Chain A
Amino acid sequence: MKVLVTVKEVAEVEDDFEIADLDVDPRYLEYDLNEWDEYAVESAVQLAEAADEEVEVVSVTIGPERSEETIRMALAKGVDRAVRVWDDDIEAAEFLDVASKVRLLEAVVAEEDPDIVLSGVQAHDTGFGATGVALADAIGFEWGAVVNALDIEGVLNDGVARVHRELEGGIEELTEIDLPAVLTIQTGINEPRYASLRGIRQAQSKEIAPKTLSDLGLDFSAVESELFLTDMYEPETESDATYFEGDAGEQAAALASALREKGVGAE
């Protein structure tokens, strides 16, 4: 059995930042593994640990070389190997929309032929929340979105993902999804482990295979986005607060006349 986990290195913005062109100035960004993906990785590793037969856990990411450190943390937690898709054309693409990402991931799925794909519900930075389900549609897999409980035995023994899905208003839906399937994993489904020192050591020698568009049988058209960023700005915070100076009596008088001006109360 093979589990493919899609992971993403996300940007975290510092409290004080500036915008440069169409993005937050990179000087104010730090990078980390997407929080939802941490839970997806944990689910995948738990599947492998519970299985009697060999379960290979492969993670795939779209990201520059810098993201290897983040990806390696997933390897330290038990992922067997990783695939990292990147090249100059992807670098040059202004914006990777969901369709572009799906085209790349679809090609990786074709190479890896997984039985189950786990993905975080959404990415902390871009927040489309669509990559997992769009991928399922593209590769013809069943899917379950916003999964907050997964029966591991069912996946391993019956080829069925019995899942709880979190719906609006605190409602939980219990669904059985036949494999192969894509599940988008919600935070809180498990308790992501810390990487042990042994795991971190072992991760240094695990493979992160770089793949270019041409390695995947694609060309630059795969990352031609139909979605463009047109602007990025901090919304003006509107504040109409007036502070009335003086002692309590003066403040009350000022408040009364302000209210009267607004038409509050009888003349």
Chain B
Amino acid sequence: MLDYLGLEADLTQEERMIRDEARRFVEEEVKPDIGEHFENGTFPMDLVPKMGELGFYAPTIDGYGLPGVGDRAYGILMQELEAGDSGLRSMASVQGALVMYPIYAFGSEEQKERWLPDLGTGDAVGCFGLTEPEHGSNPSGMQTRAERDDDGFVLNGSKTWITNSPIADVAVVWGRDTSADDSPVRGFLVETDRDGVTTNKIDDKLSMRASVTGEIGLDDVWVPEENVLPGVEGMKGPLSCLTQARFGISWGVVGAARDAFEAALDYAKDRDQFGGPIARFQIQQDKLAEMATQITNGQLMAYRLAELKSRDELRHQHVSMAKRHNVRMAREVSRTAREILGGNGITTDYSPMRHLANMETVYTYEGTHDIHTLVIGADLTGIPAFE
């Protein structure tokens, strides 16, 4: 496995063991039929409880049956999962960083006890409702409304591009509380079996096919007061969750790129043309050297991010830079890997084009590449381009 500058030699024994077991899990449980799932547009549902049993959901949380590992160990885990498929890492990202994290950080003790153990084992599946049909990059323009009644709230609105909504038991829905001054954004835990909730599946995807994506429709959905996340008001609620998730993406896509690279390297050494392996040609070696260098760059960013996070010095702009850089890197690397595989590269027998297709989603989800560019631009100049 590519680790050109030997960064993994600095991992602790615990981190190496997590890497090894996650890698073995992906090798044995994911890779054999992920191509078929991608082709059929299905998520391997049997992996939901298996990943829970192994503690893959929100593993940095300590308590509620969760293992409490460090930030770098979490990053390594995301890297290994996404080497399998971005759909798998997305499942773990959403469940952990976008559902369990806000409940842990902003929830009441009752909410934590009700949901964290079940979400941790995969007995319950969660989803995160922020994006709306008319509000993508500018989520603060959201139209979802919550209106107070006697002992709870009535929710109306629609959310879209929601990973796992059709299979979710609970949705963390962000909406404006119109009964309060200035209509602040609040988080609501909405059980998907409540009257008025619909979760239609989005079927016509050409990317991230081994992942379930859908909408959340809220038509006069009543939730009790105790379903409101008490600990946060305003956009920092959803945005802080996204910073957590993007940290995982920055690590994850390094795994996808590495997997594409390894497939291309094996193929180049194996594929004989003109009397020898194509790996002997300078044009292929140029591609391989460039890929290895770019992956190593991405890996360095991911490691540095974990370092800053564990010191509590990580700013969301740091995460924007790594997410932006690493996803673009993985997109380019997987495309180059596909080239080396020639015609074989366009089938589901090999991973690079599947990773490439997935990267098209990752490039524009959780903050598009362009918006992250502007976040960094605003940080550097002090002049926000999008306000």
A residues whose Cβ falls under 8 Å from a Cβ of B: 69, 72-73, 76, 194-198, 200-201, 203-204
Alpha-carbon distance between A69 and B15 when the two chains are bound, in angstroms: 11
A204 and B67 in contact (CB under 8 A), knowing A194-B21, A197-B55?
no
Which residue of chain B lies nearest to A201 when distances are taken between CB atoms in the complex?
B67
**A72 partner residues in chain B, CB cutoff 8 A:** 13, 17
Q: Is the C-beta of B124 less than 8 angstroms from some C-beta in chain A?
A: no
Q: Quick one: closest A residue to B120, CB to CB?
A: A198
Q: How far is the CA of A121 from the CA of B25 in the complex (A)?
A: 25
Complex Cα distance, B54 from A76, in Å, reads 11
Residue on A nearest B66 in the bound complex, by CB: A198
- Shortest C-beta distance, B9 to chain A (Å), equals 13
With A194-B54, A197-B54, A200-B21 known, 11 other A-B pairs at CB within 8 A are A72-B13, A76-B21, A197-B59, A197-B67, A197-B69, A198-B55, A198-B67, A200-B17, A200-B18, A201-B14, A203-B17
* Cα–Cα, bound, A69→B18 (Å): 12
Q: Is the CB of B309 closer than 8 A to any CB of chain A?
A: no
B44 at the interface (CB under 8 A from A): no
B2-51 at interface with A (beta carbon < 8 Å): 13-14, 16-18, 20-21, 24-25
B20 — which chain A residues lie within 8 A by C-beta?
Answer: 73
Judged by a CB distance under 8 angstroms, whether B349 is at the interface is no
Docked Cα-Cα span, A202 to B73, in Å, equals 15
* B25 proximity list for chain A (CB < 8 A): 194
Jot down 5 A-B pairs with beta carbons below 8 A, ordered by A. A69-B13, A69-B16, A194-B25, A195-B17, A196-B54
Contact A201-B13, Cβ < 8 Å, known A194-B21, A194-B24, A195-B21: no
Interface residues of B in 197-239 (CB under 8 A from A): none
Q: At the interface, yes or no: B174 with Cβ under 8 Å from chain A? A: no
In whole Å, how far is A158's beta carbon from the nearest beta carbon of chain B? 31
A194 to B55, CA, bound (A): 11
Instruction: Report if B307 contacts A (CB, 8 A).
Output: no
In the complex, B267 has a CB within 8 A of chain A: no
Q: In the complex the two chains form, what is the Cα distance from A72 to B25 in whole Å?
A: 18
Say whether B55 contacts A204, CB under 8 Å: no
Which residues from chain B contact A201 at a C-beta distance below 8 Å?
A: 14, 67-69
| A residues in contact with B272, CB < 8 Å | none
> Are A197 and B56 interface neighbours, CB within 8 A?
yes
- Tell me the nearest residue of chain A to B74, going by C-beta: A197
**Bound complex: CA A241 to CA B207 (Å):** 50
Q: Given A194-B24, A194-B25, decide whether A69 and B55 contact each other with a Cβ distance below 8 A.
A: no
A residues less than 8 Å from B77 (CB atoms)? 197
The CA of A195 and the CA of B16, in the complex, are separated in Å by 12
- Min CB distance, B253 to chain A, in Å? 21
**Chain B residues, CB < 8 A from A76:** 17, 21
In Å, the complex CA distance between A72 and B15 comes to 12
Nearest A-chain residue to B62, judged by Cβ: A201
Closest chain B residue to A75, Cβ basis: B17
Q: Are A69 and B67 in contact (CB-based, < 8 A)?
A: no
Whether, in the assembled complex, B270 has its beta carbon less than 8 Å from a beta carbon of chain A, the answer is no
Q: Does B53 contact A (CB under 8 A)?
A: yes
CB distance from B129 to the nearest CB of A (A): 28
Which residues of the partner chain A approach B13 to less than 8 Å between Cβ atoms? 69, 72, 204
Contact B17 A196 (CB under 8 A): no
Residue from the set A72, A76, A198, A203 with the largest chain B CB neighbour count within 10 Å: A198
CB contacts (< 8 Å) of B68 on chain A: these are 201
Task: Give bound CA distance, A250 to B84, whole Å.
Answer: 52
Bound CA–CA A201/B20 (angstroms)? 14
Q: Are B18 and A197 in contact (CB under 8 A)?
A: yes
Q: Are A73 and B53 within 8 A (Cβ)?
A: no
Q: Kindly state the separation between the CA atoms of A198 and B52 in the bound complex, as whole angstroms.
A: 11
Digitize B53-84: 1 where CB-to-A-CB distance is under 8 Å, 0 elsewhere: 11110010000001111000100010000000
A196 and B55 form a contact (CB under 8 A) = yes
CB distance from A1 to the nearest CB of B (A): 26
Contacts of B59 in A (CB 8 A): 197
CB-CB nearest 10 A-B residue pairs: A197-B55, A198-B67, A197-B67, A196-B54, A200-B17, A196-B55, A195-B21, A197-B59, A198-B55, A201-B67
Contacts of B53 in A (CB 8 A): 196
Q: Give the residues in chain B near A195, CB-CB below 8 Å.
A: 17, 21, 54
> In whole angstroms, what is the CA distance A76 to B18 when docked?
10
B158 vs chain A, min Cβ distance (A): 36
Query: CB distance A73 to B67 under 8 Å?
Result: no
Residues in A whose Cβ lies below 8 Å from that of B17: 69, 72-73, 76, 195, 200, 203
Q: A198 — which chain B residues lie within 8 A by C-beta?
A: 55, 66-67
Min C-beta distance of B266 to chain A, whole Å? 12
Chain A residues near B14 (CB-CB < 8 A)? 200-201, 204
- Of all chain B residues, the one with the shortest Cβ separation from A76 is B17
Chain B 231-262 interface mask (CB, 8 Å, partner A; 1/0)? 00000000000000000000000000000000
Shortest beta-carbon distance from A31 to chain B in Å: 12
Q: Shortest CB–CB separation between residue A116 and chain B, in angstroms?
A: 27
Nearest-Cβ distance from residue B3 to partner chain A, whole angstroms = 14
List the A side residues contacting B55 at CB < 8 Å.
196-198
